[in-house]
Amino acid sequence: VCDASRLSQEERALVLRETAQASVIVLTMVYQDGTAQLNAEQKSCPPVSGVLVLLKSELDAMESEGCSAGLPGSEGSGCKVIFLKLEQRPAWAQQGYRQDRFSKEMLLCILGSAQDVICFKAKDLLCTALQYFGKEISWKQVALCRILDPQIAAWLLDPADTASCFWDLVAKRCKTRAAVKPCAGAREFEQQPNVSGSLLVLYRLMMDLRASLQEQGLWKLFCSVELRLTTVLAVMEIHRIHVDKDALEKTSKILGMKLKQLEQEAHQAAGQQFLVSSSSQLRVVLFEKLRLHERCENKKLPKTVLRQQQSTSEATLMQLQDLHPLPKIILEYRQVHKIKSAYVDGILSCMISPFYNPKWGNTSSAVTGPITSKKPNIQAIPRQSIQIIKKQYVQGKEPEVITIHPRSMFISEEGWTFLAADFSQVELRLLAHLSSDPELLRVFQEPLAAGDVFISLASQWKGLPEGKLKPEDREQAKRIVYSVVYGAGKERLSEILGLTAEQAGQFVDSFLQKYKQVRAFTQKTIQQCQDQGCVVSIMGRRRHLPHILSPDWTLRNQAERQAVNFVVQGSAADLCKMAMIRIFSHIASSPTLTARLIAQIHDELLFEVEDSQVEEFAGVVQTTMESLQHIDCFGVHLKVPLRVMLSSGKSWGSLAELARPRSLPHRL
C-alpha cells in the first residue's frame, strides 16, 4: 500500500494517469479507528480517515476464473493500492492543501467518469466524498458515476436475506472463495490487517455476483436502476432541509401540556390512576374494571395477534366510545402522543446544528423494493394537521384552538420553493394494467379521467350517478380497493372499515364481482408463484416466496397475499425509482437547472426549486414522470396513462396545487 501523501509530484501525475486508464477500481473507506467499510457491521460510524484505492490495469480472465493462486497478499501484475487521506479540516486550517488537493483530484477522477468502480456500501462513500468536496465541486460532476455495490447486488438476487456484512456475503456468494482463502474462517480472515487483500476479495465477490445477476437476467435492472439510484440517494442525503426549530420546540411544549391534561381526564374517567400510554394497563381498566366488552356482545372486538388478549387498538376504542368517555380520551391521547414523540421530539433529536438541518438516511434494502427513510422517517410524517384545544385557566379567557401540522415545520430556503409531484393512484393504475380488467381500465382511459378516480369507481361499482354519491362512498371504495391491492382479508378490512367481517366480505365480493379480472389476476399471480417459486415486478424485480407451497394454511395464505402485494407495490416502487433517476439525470445534464430532490414519500417526490425555475422545472417533472407509461428498455407499456399532480409552496405543510400546463393535455 502506498500512501499518496508520500508521493512526489511526478508520481502523483502518474497515478492519476493510471487511474484514468485502469480497467477496474476497487474502493473502501477507512475509518479513524482503523476499521474499514468491509469490517463487521458497525453501529456507530466513526470518523473517516481516508479511502483505499485498488487500481487494476488489466482484466485477466484467468484470475476471475479462480485459476491463479491469488493469495490475498500477493497481488498479481497490474495492481496498485493507494491510500488517500481524507480529513475534514476547519476552513481556516487548509494549509496542507497540496495533499488535500490531490485526494480531491483523485476522487474526482474516479467518481467523475463513467468507468466501473466497485465499493461495498457505495452510498456511504459517495456521501463522504460529496461532503469532502464541499462547495468546490458540484454534485453534478459525479452524477454519472457507476459504483457497483455487492450489497445491492446480493439484495437484488434475494431481497429476503437481510443486509449481511461483507464477510457473510463473501461466504455466501463467492464461488471462487476456496481459491481466496482455503480454510480460514471468516472471522480469522477479517482480523487480518491486510486490507488490500480484502479489496481483491471484494473484486472477486462483485464479479461472482455479476455472473449470478447476468444468469438470472437481473443485470440490466441492477445497472440501470439500482446502481444509478445510489447516486441519486447520496445526493439527496447530502442536502439538508430547513426546519423551524423554534416552532418545533413550541409545539413540543404545547403537546406536552395537552398530554398532561388528557392524562388527568383519563384518570378521572377511569376512576383510578394508571399509565395511559400502557396498553396492558388500559386493558385492565377497560375490560376488568369497567367490563365494557360485556356491553357490546353483538360486536366482535379484535384480539391481539400473539397473545389473543383483548386488544386496545383504535378499532376497539372506536366501537367502545359510545359506552364510556374513556375510549375517546385515550384515542386523542394516543394521537397527540404519537405526534409529539415521533414527529416533534423525534425530529428535534435528529437535528444536528443548533439552527437547523435534519439529515435523512436512506437504504435501498427492503423486501418489496421501495426506498425507505430513517432518522427521521420523513415518509410517515402525518399528512393532515390536528386541532388542539388548549384550556385556559386564566379567568375570562376563551379556550384557544391551535392547529398543529408537523409537515409545515419543513420550510424551503430563502429564494427557493418546494415542489411536490405525486403519482396519482399508481397502485390502482397498475392493478388495472396488470389485471387488464376492462371496467377498471375504462375508469382511467376515459377522457373524464380528469375527475376523481375513486368517485367514478364508487359510482360505477354502486351503479349511482356521481352526483348522488356521499363522501363515505368514496372513502369506502378507496379502502376496499387498497385492501384488495394490499391483499388484506375481510377480517382486516372489517377492522379498518369498522364493520362486521360479513359486511366487509360482502363489499369485497361485490367489488370482485364487478371487476372480475382482478380476481383472475390474483389467481394468476399465485399460480405463477407456485410454478416458479417467485413473483416478478413490472421491471423484473423478483421476490422468492418459499412458503407458497407450504402445507401450513396460515403460512401459505400469507405467502399468497405477499405475492399479490409484491407485484403491485413492487411495480409501483419500480416506477418511482425510475422517475427519480430520470429527473435526476435531467437536472444533472442541464447547465442551468438547480433543483434538488429532497424526499421521496412513496409515490410522491419532493423537490426544492429556485423560485425562478419552478414553472420550467414543473414541466420537466410532469413530462418525465408521465412518460414512464412506456419504458422501452424494460418492455414496459402500461395500458393506462400515468397522471402526476403538482403542488408547490414555501412550506411542506402548505402546498397549493399547481395548474396543469397547457402543453400537457389530460390525455394523449
Partner DNA sequence: TTTCAGACGCTAGG
Partner DNA sequence: CCTAGCGTCTG
**Chosen residue from 99, 252, 558, 654 binding DNA by CB under 7 A:** 558
Among residues 275 and 352, whose Cβ is nearest to DNA? 275
CB of 225 to DNA, least distance (A): 18
| Residue 278 touching DNA (CB under 7 A) | yes
Q: How far apart are alpha carbons 498 and 338 in whole angstroms? A: 22
Sequence-ordered list of residues with C-beta below 8 angstroms from that of 232, at least 6 positions apart, any chain: 580, 581, 584, 597
Nearest to 75 by CA among 197, 180, 175: 197
CB of 235 to DNA, least distance (A): 20
- For the record, the C-alpha cell of 470 comes out as 356521499
Q: How far apart are alpha carbons 179 and 202 in whole angstroms? A: 14
Binding span for DNA by CB under 7 A among 76-84, 513-521, 602-610, 614-622: 602-610
CB of 317 to DNA, least distance (A): 7
| Residue 187 touching DNA (CB under 7 A) | no
Number of H-type helices and E-type strands within the chain: 25, 21
- For the record, the C-alpha cell of 284 comes out as 385492565
Among residues 224 and 335, whose Cβ is nearest to DNA? 335
286-345 residues near DNA, rule: CB under 7 A: 304-307, 309, 311-315, 317, 331, 334-335, 337-338, 341-342, 345
413-432 residues near DNA, rule: CB under 7 A: 427
| Residue 601 touching DNA (CB under 7 A) | yes
| Residue 374 touching DNA (CB under 7 A) | yes
Binding span for DNA by CB under 7 A among 218-226, 274-282, 408-416, 640-648: 274-282
**Chosen residue from 279, 357, 585, 647 binding DNA by CB under 7 A:** 279
Nearest to 121 by CA among 376, 378, 377, 361: 361
For 637, phi then psi, to 5°, come to -140, 95
For 163, phi then psi, to 5°, come to -40, 105
Q: How far apart are alpha carbons 220 and 264 in whole angstroms? A: 60
Binding span for DNA by CB under 7 A among 113-121, 142-150, 447-455, 562-570: 562-570
- For 73-101, the DSSP string reads TS--TTEEEEEEE-----GGGGGGHHHHH
CB of 192 to DNA, least distance (A): 28
Pairing mode, strands 24-31 and 116-119: parallel
For 400, phi then psi, to 5°, come to -95, 135
Q: How far apart are alpha carbons 656 and 234 in whole angstroms? A: 29
Binding span for DNA by CB under 7 A among 58-66, 230-238, 364-372, 507-515: 364-372
Among residues 260 and 374, whose Cβ is nearest to DNA? 374
Among residues 212 and 363, whose Cβ is nearest to DNA? 363
Q: Do residues 530 and 548 touch, judged by C-beta distance below 8 A?
A: yes
Nearest to 439 by CA among 467, 455, 460: 460
Q: How far apart are alpha carbons 463 and 466 in whole angstroms? A: 9
| Residue 526 touching DNA (CB under 7 A) | no
**Chosen residue from 115, 319, 373, 622 binding DNA by CB under 7 A:** 373
| Residue 565 touching DNA (CB under 7 A) | yes
471-500 residues near DNA, rule: CB under 7 A: 486-488, 492
Amino acid at 566: F
Among residues 113 and 365, whose Cβ is nearest to DNA? 365
Q: Is 470 exposed, middle or buried (0-12, 13-18, 19+ CB in 10 A)?
A: exposed
Among residues 141 and 558, whose Cβ is nearest to DNA? 558
| Residue 503 touching DNA (CB under 7 A) | no
Binding span for DNA by CB under 7 A among 79-87, 247-255, 273-281, 454-462: 273-281
Among residues 140 and 359, whose Cβ is nearest to DNA? 359
Among residues 16 and 342, whose Cβ is nearest to DNA? 342
**Chosen residue from 346, 358, 649, 653 binding DNA by CB under 7 A:** 346
Among residues 129 and 229, whose Cβ is nearest to DNA? 229
| Residue 376 touching DNA (CB under 7 A) | yes
Q: How far apart are alpha carbons 332 and 244 in whole angstroms? A: 25
Among residues 63 and 495, whose Cβ is nearest to DNA? 495
Q: How far apart are alpha carbons 119 and 53 in whole angstroms? A: 10
Within 10 A of 158 (CB to CB), how many other CB atoms are there?
A: 15
Q: Do residues 123 and 233 touch, judged by C-beta distance below 8 A?
A: yes
Among residues 345 and 452, whose Cβ is nearest to DNA? 345
Q: Do residues 540 and 217 touch, judged by C-beta distance below 8 A?
A: yes
Looking at residue 322, the DSSP 8-state letter turns out to be T
| Residue 408 touching DNA (CB under 7 A) | no
| Residue 550 touching DNA (CB under 7 A) | no
CB of 326 to DNA, least distance (A): 14
Amino acid at 332: E
| Residue 176 touching DNA (CB under 7 A) | no
Query: How many residues sit close enough to DNA to count as binding (CB under 7 A)?
Result: 57
Binding span for DNA by CB under 7 A among 231-239, 242-250, 555-563, 648-656: 555-563
Distances (CA, A) of 500 to 68, 295, 301, 507, 558: 68, 17, 10, 11, 22
**Chosen residue from 349, 506, 510, 513 binding DNA by CB under 7 A:** 349
Q: How far apart are alpha carbons 363 and 373 in whole angstroms? A: 7
Among residues 83 and 507, whose Cβ is nearest to DNA? 507
Looking at residue 138, the DSSP 8-state letter turns out to be -
Binding span for DNA by CB under 7 A among 29-37, 94-102, 504-512, 599-607: 599-607
The site for DNA (CB under 7 A) is made up of 275, 277-281, 304-307, 309, 311-315, 317, 331, 334-335, 337-338, 341-342, 345-346, 349, 363, 366-368, 372-377, 379-384, 427, 486-488, 492, 558, 561-562, 565, 569, 601-604
